[in-house]
Amino acid sequence: MSVSKPPAGAVAPELRDAILAWFEATGRQLAFRATTDPWAILVSEAMAQQTQAARAAEAWGRFLAEFPTAEALAAATPAAVLRAWRGLGYNRRALALRRAAIAIVYQHGGRVPPDLEALRRLPGVGPYTARAVAALAFGQRVGAVDTNVRRVLNRAVGGGPGAFAEAQLQVVADAWVPADRPGHWTHAVMDVGATFCRPRAPRCGACPARAWCRAAIDGTAEVGADGHGARRGRGAGVHEPAAPFRSSSRWLRGRILDTLRDAPADAWARIDPPLGDHDRPALEAALAGLAREGLAERHPSDPRLARLPRA
C-alpha cells in the first residue's frame, strides 16, 4: 500500500479510522467501559491510575456495589473506603476519591460536574482524569493523555519518542479526537498503546496504525528524544539486581494495611516484627509514614497498635 506521510502534528483521518475500527472489532472488553454514568466512570478512572486496567475492572464492580453514588462514598469513613480499596494499591487514591465525593456532594449537588475546569478542581483529579471523564461521561471532544496515549501520539503523529513537548502534545491529542466518538477514541488509543505501542520493542508490524504511523514508516519508533537514538552512557545496560519484593517498603506498607483491614472495625491491631524481611525499626518507619498520610491511626500509648482511620 502506498501512503503519503502526513506532516508532523497533522490529523490523518485514515490512521484514526484504522485505530477505531480495530478497537471496535477487538478492543479490550472491560466492565467499566459499558457504563455512561459519570460517577461510575470517575471511580473507574481513579482505580485505573497506576493499576492494570483488567485488575481495576475486577474491583470496580465490588466498589460500586458498596458506594454506588458520590453521596454514599462521601458518607463513608476512611476505614470503610480503604477496606473496599483492598488489592488496588496506591491507597492514597482511595482517600482522594472520598474527598472528591465530598466535594461533589457539597459543591455540585451530588452530581459529577461536566465542566472540565470543575473536574480539575476535584481532589485527586489531574489533567488526564478530568479529560477522560469529560470525554467518556459527557462526550466532550478533549484528549486524555496518559503514558500509553503519549507514546502513540509521539510516534504516530510526531515521528518518534519525545517528538512533542507536553503543551504541544495536548493540542495534538485534542485535535485528534473525533467529534462523534470521543469516548470510543479515548479507549481505542489507550488500547493501542498498551497492546502494540509499547515502550520497548513496539509491535509495529501488528499495529492497526502501521500504514500511517510516521515512526513505523521512518523506522524511528525507538529513536531517542534527541533524534539520534538512545545513547549508552556510563553503566548503560548494567542493572543492579532488584531487591526482593518482601524487602521493599511498598510491600511492607501493603501488608500493614491488610492487617488493619482484617481487624474488626475500630479495633486496634498489633503490628509485630518480623514482617517479611522487616524488623521493628522498619515497621515503626512504615507506621509513622502511614499515619502522616492519613492511612492509619496510631494508638496514643502503645506504638505497636494501629487501626484504619475513622475520620
Instruction: Give the HSE-up count for residue 65: Cα atoms under 13 Å, Cβ half-sphere.
Output: 7
* 45 is a catalytic site residue: yes
Residue 285 and residue 160: Cα distance in Å, rounded? 43
The phi and psi torsions of 116 (rounded to 5 degrees) equal -60, -45
Catalytic residue among 45, 58, 293, 297: 45
132: phi then psi, degrees, rounded to nearest 5: -60, -45
Residues 42, 46, 47, 52: what is their CA dihedral angle, to the nearest 10 degrees?
110
**Helices 38-48 and 92-108 meet at what angle, rounded to 10?**
160
Distance CA 97, CA 42 (A): 9
C-beta atoms surrounding 174 within 10 Å: 15
Q: Which residues are catalytic?
A: 45
